[in-house]
Amino acid sequence: MIIGLGESSHGTREFFLFRDKITRQFIENEGFYLVGLEIPYTDAIPINSYINGDIRETSETILKNLEYPFFQNIEFKNFIEWARNYNFNRHDSRIEIFGIDTPVDSQPLKELLLLLKDKKCFRKLKRNFILI
């Protein structure tokens, strides 16, 4: 299953708080562990590495280096800190974050579109994911 949470503004505090609450509920209660962000694919790599303990940078440094400034806020910082703690306390299912805002001709987007075109894509994914 794929859930998409859109927004009509970028960086609105109230929306980030609401989206954070919904996303956490999907992760904790519904088995959603793949989280797609509206950021470039390459910007999501350090976020994903951070929440999975693969790098030592701080969340502040990671957010400061994002291409899109509307994710540089305390609400999103709190979400990635929560995701990191969640991953350190869980061994069966870990949250993975990826960027979906990529140029049309990019390889990650092409691969995602091919997967979604396949009628068996949900079995291939083996996990639900949420686009935020």
Please give the pLDDT value at position 100.
Answer: 80
Please give the pLDDT value at position 7.
Answer: 64
Buried/exposed code over 77-106 (b: 16+ C-beta within 10 A; e: otherwise) = bebbebbbebbeeeeeeebbbbbbbbeeee
Give me the residue spans of the domains in the chain: 13-131
List the helix and strand counts (H, then E) for the chain.
Answer: 6, 4
53-66 average pLDDT score: 91
What are the tens digits of pLDDT across the range 74-99? 999 999 999 999 999 987 788 988 88
Please give the pLDDT value at position 81.
Answer: 96
- The model's confidence at residue 33, banded by pLDDT at 50, 70 and 90, is confident
CATH hierarchy code of domain 13-131: 3.30.1870.10
Please give the pLDDT value at position 121.
Answer: 45
* 24 neighbors 76 (Cβ within 8 angstroms): no
Residue 108: Cβ within 10 Å count = 16
Flag whether pLDDT at 110 surpasses 70. Answer: no
Strand (E) or helix (H) holding 96: strand 96-99
More confident residue, 71 or 82: 82
More confident residue, 38 or 107: 38
Q: How far apart are CA 77 and CA 81, in angstroms?
A: 6
- The two three-digit tokens of residue 57, written as one number: 């940078």
Q: Tokens 């974050």, residue?
A: 97
Q: What is the mean pLDDT of the chain?
A: 80
DSSP structural state of residue 34: E
